[in-house]
């Protein structure tokens, strides 16, 4: 973690409001870029792309060559942790991730002691990115938060309601707690190693925080995220951390207070007024343009982007989407959005 040169995005995470909000875009390295598709076609598979530093560095840097973004984010995936734990993880074309689902009886197959060794290529990618980035650019590392990762490990794939994991937690509370403990420990090791490899800030992707009642949200989301923040900072004092609890809704204030994150990512369904009133004054917010507004582009996109910037003008704000950019996004719309946020055109 280096702060010897002013990095607008890192400074914003640390609570310092900038003249204009810095910007990065979730999934900014991805299929909407033809150069990404070309590299992806050369790889043996998605995980091979994640584990090959030459390729992962290249795709991480591609969006910064096109757009004046304030940060690079490590190209990887939240499911490298279950893969590193020894669970079978594969990415099927047109289907997404497929895992051999764990059960209460098969948790013993997981091997936490092999995580960092398995993820050594990802850490090498971070070291190379650190060396390649312009000094004013922030380098973002990340991992999936335990509840979100657990939903894939238990369900064997993504789902709209995470029913398999929700039922598992209710029917097998001890086994579920064991799985969460394994994921918390692995996440702390992984994120601390990312800081050591050169990350300036890390983000916790709690992509499936929705569909939980307030009791489950406190247990499955807030508790594990708080433990990770505390565990990472025990090894990396004052480590800058962004939490992204997608779908937190009315739980967002409790999440921010309990976890101690430096910044909170807002999904695109979070009303601006609600966020302004419920996220503590002075805490950094990140977000939250609807990705489909970026696909459609034009006046509606620009109007909404200006509304978001104006809503958070009195606090540290990182401009971003409220979820990941989608493959059909026109490149010229991204360029227009970045220019608008950076004040390069009216």
Place of tokens 């430096």: 262
User: Residue 286 and residue 150: Cα distance in Å, rounded?
Assistant: 25
Whether cis (ω within 30° of 0) applies to the bond prior to 288 is yes
Distance in angstroms between the alpha carbons of the first and the last residue of the chain: 35
For the record, the structure tokens of 316 come out as: 């540290």
With CA atoms as reference, report the closest residue to 36 among 17, 8, 62, 10.
62
Q: Residue 6: phi, psi to the nearest 5?
A: -65, 120
Which residues are annotated as catalytic? 27, 31, 40, 77, 152
> Between β-strands 96-99 and 89-92, what pairing exists: parallel, antiparallel or unpaired?
antiparallel
User: Residue 19 and residue 12: Cα distance in Å, rounded?
Assistant: 10
Phi-psi region of 262 (alpha: psi -120 to 50; beta: other; left: phi over 0): alpha
Q: Which residues contact 23 (CB under 8 A, 6 or more apart)?
A: 69, 70, 318, 319, 320, 337, 338, 341, 342
Place of tokens 């757009």: 67
With CA atoms as reference, report the closest residue to 229 among 216, 243, 217.
243
CA distances in angstroms from 159 to 62, 96, 98, 150, 152, listed in the order given: 30, 11, 11, 12, 8
């Amino acid at each position: 973690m280096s702060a010897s040169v002013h990095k607008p995005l890192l400074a914003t995470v640390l609570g310092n409001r900038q003249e204009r909000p810095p910007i990065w875009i979730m999934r900014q390295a991805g299929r909407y870029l033809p150069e990404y598709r070309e590299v992806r076609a050369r790889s043996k598979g998605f995980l091979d792309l994640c584990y090959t530093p030459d390729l992962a560095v290249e795709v991480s840097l591609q969006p910064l060559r096109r757009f004046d973004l304030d940060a690079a984010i490590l190209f990887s995936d939240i499911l490298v942790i279950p893969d590193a734990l020894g669970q079978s993880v594969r990415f099927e074309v047109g289907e997404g991730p497929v895992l051999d689902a764990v059960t209460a009886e098969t948790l013993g197959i997981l091997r936490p002691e092999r995580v960092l060794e398995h993820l050594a290529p990802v850490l090498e990618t971070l070291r190379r990115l650190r060396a390649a980035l312009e000094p004013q650019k922030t380098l973002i590392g990340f991992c999936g938060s335990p509840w979100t990762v657990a939903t894939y490990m238990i369900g064997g794939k993504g789902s709209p309601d995470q029913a398999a994991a929700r039922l598992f937690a209710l029917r097998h509370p001890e086994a579920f707690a064991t799985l969460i403990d394994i994921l918390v420990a692995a996440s702390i090791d992984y994120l601390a190693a990312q800081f050591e490899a050169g990350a300036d800030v890390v983000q916790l992707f709690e992509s499936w925080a929705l569909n939980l009642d307030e009791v489950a949200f406190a247990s499955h989301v807030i508790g594990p995220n708080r433990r990770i923040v505390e565990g990472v900072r025990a090894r990396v004092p004052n480590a800058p951390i962004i939490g992204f609890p997608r779908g937190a809704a009315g739980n967002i204030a409790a999440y921010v207070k309990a976890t101690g994150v430096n910044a909170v990512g807002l999904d695109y369904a979070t009303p601006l007024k609600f966020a302004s009133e419920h996220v503590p004054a002075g805490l950094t917010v990140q977000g939250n343009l609807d990705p489909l507004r970026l696909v459609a582009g034009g006046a509606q996109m620009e109007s909404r982007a200006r509304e978001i910037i104006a809503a958070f003008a009195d606090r540290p704000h990182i401009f971003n989407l409220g979820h990941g950019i989608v493959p059909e996004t026109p490149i010229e719309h991204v360029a227009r959005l970045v220019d608008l946020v950076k004040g390069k055109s009216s």
